[in-house]
């Protein structure tokens, strides 16, 4: 992987306001509002503010990782990806550089919501536990990174905003990030559990309870990673064959 390229991608990401609003601003704001909206009880075995903290941290990190697709699509519109194909940067290097930049933005987006949880709701974890929590969420976001790349290569410039915005909102909604799945009807919970994002947040919540995600969640995430990874690779190859 070309380190100059990755650094350039990270720097450009941190200069894109509309991207940072969804990765940093929205999750923080929603955490501050929703962490007080469900009382002081427990949800899924952990306190409400902690539950919402994990949901909103996941939401921010998901925004950062998923945003990779929009960045690829924008570069396809201006033809920059074609220019890069005339360099020694490989196609794999191009895509992985974008993905790494997405994860690099995801780290501070997790940290911001975690910090708000610690400051406003006294969520008290050891440094090691914070780190494992963050790492679990990031690892579980792999299928979302593949989804972003896939959309980046199949979306047309005129429908990109609508398609990616729609998919992104549905993922967050049916991942139980905005509204806890405990308030959904049973059939809808089953739908959520067939989709990847529920399990991303679950990976974080299990860490807080001293567990790991478990085979069901790992299986769902792995299946989505394979399916979306294949779709992304095929869309990439088709795009580069056409030019």
3-state secondary structure of 73: helix
Chain-centre distance for alpha carbon 168: 9
Measured from the CB atom, is 1 or 29 closer to other proteins? Answer: 1
Measured from the CB atom, is 15 or 40 closer to other proteins? Answer: 15
Smallest separation (angstroms) from other proteins to the CB of 119: 31
3-state secondary structure of 46: strand
What angle is formed at CA 103 by the lines to CA 99 and CA 105, rounded to 5 degrees?
A: 115
2 binds other proteins (CB under 8 A): yes
Measured from the CB atom, is 74 or 115 closer to other proteins? Answer: 74
- Residues 159, 225, 232, 62, CA torsion sign: positive
92 binds other proteins (CB under 8 A): no
What angle is formed at CA 41 by the lines to CA 38 and CA 47, rounded to 5 degrees?
A: 95
- Using CB under 8 A as the binding rule, the residues of this chain from 4 to 43 that contact other proteins are 4-5, 8, 11-13, 15-16
Among 26, 36, 47, 75, binds other proteins (CB under 8 A): 75
Smallest separation (angstroms) from other proteins to the CB of 60: 20
Smallest separation (angstroms) from other proteins to the CB of 104: 14
| Location of structure tokens 């196609």 | 91
- Using CB under 8 A as the binding rule, the residues of this chain from 222 to 241 that contact other proteins are 241
- Using CB under 8 A as the binding rule, the residues of this chain from 141 to 170 that contact other proteins are none
> How many residues at the interface with other proteins, by CB under 8 A?
27
Measured from the CB atom, is 91 or 180 closer to other proteins? Answer: 91
Smallest separation (angstroms) from other proteins to the CB of 73: 12
Among 26, 89, 135, 218, binds other proteins (CB under 8 A): 89
| Count of alpha carbons within 13 angstroms of residue 205, beta-carbon side | 26
For 121, which DSSP code? H
What are the helix (H) ranges across the chain? 3-13, 17-20, 26-34, 48-78, 80-85, 91-121, 127-140, 142-154, 160-173, 186-194, 196-208, 215-242
Binding site for other proteins (CB under 8 A): 2-5, 8, 11-13, 15-16, 74-75, 77-80, 82-89, 241-243
């Amino acid at each position: 992987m070309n380190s100059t390229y990755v650094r350039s991608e990270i720097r450009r990401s941190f200069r894109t306001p509309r991207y940072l609003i969804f990765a940093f601003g929205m999750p923080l704001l929603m955490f501050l509002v929703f962490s007080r909206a469900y009382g002081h009880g427990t949800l899924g075995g952990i306190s409400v503010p902690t539950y919402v903290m994990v949901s909103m941290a996941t939401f921010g990190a998901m925004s950062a990782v998923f945003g990779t697709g929009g960045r690829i699509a924008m570069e396809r519109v201006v033809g920059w990806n074609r220019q890069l194909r005339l360099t020694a940067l490989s196609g794999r290097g191009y895509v992985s550089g974008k993905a790494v930049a997405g994860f690099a933005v995801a780290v501070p987006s997790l940290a911001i919501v975690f910090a708000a949880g610690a400051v406003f709701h006294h969520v008290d974890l050891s440094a090691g536990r914070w780190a494992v929590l963050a790492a679990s969420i990031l690892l579980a976001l792999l299928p979302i990174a593949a989804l972003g790349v896939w959309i980046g290569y199949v979306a047309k410039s005129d429908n990109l905003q609508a398609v990616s915005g729609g998919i992104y909102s549905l993922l967050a909604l049916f991942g139980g990030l905005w509204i806890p799945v405990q308030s959904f009807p049973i059939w809808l919970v089953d739908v959520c559990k067939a989709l990847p994002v529920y399990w991303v947040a679950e990976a974080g919540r299990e860490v807080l309870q001293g567990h790991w995600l478990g085979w069901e969640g790992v299986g769902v995430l792995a299946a989505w990673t394979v399916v979306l990874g294949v779709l992304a690779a095929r869309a990439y190859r088709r795009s580069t064959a056409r030019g």
